[in-house]
Amino acid sequence: MKTKISKKKKKKISHYFSYHLTIVSFIALTALLLNNHIKNPIHDIILHLTSSLGIMAMHASSKQR
């Protein structure tokens, strides 16, 4: 029974991280599109933040495995 619960929890964590990564990638893409239209340092900052968040999420997901 204990192994079943832990497996379910692991699945939930992996699902959450995949969901989080898709959101981050979507934000990064929108930031890139905005940056192409309007050259603005704010968008560069947003892009940097999203990329760093993505890296952090990837590190966390690799640690969970």
Amino acid at 50: T
Residue 26's CB is within 10 A of a number of other CB atoms, namely 11
The pLDDT, as a whole number, for residue 45 is 74
Has residue 1 got a pLDDT over 60?
Answer: no
Distance separating alpha carbons of residues 22 and 61, to the nearest angstrom: 13
Measured distance CA(47)–CA(26) in Å, rounded = 11
Write down the domain spans for the chain. Answer: 15-64
pLDDT in tens, 22-42: 888 888 888 777 766 666 677
Q: How far apart are CA 50 and CA 57, in angstroms?
A: 10
pTM over 0.75: no
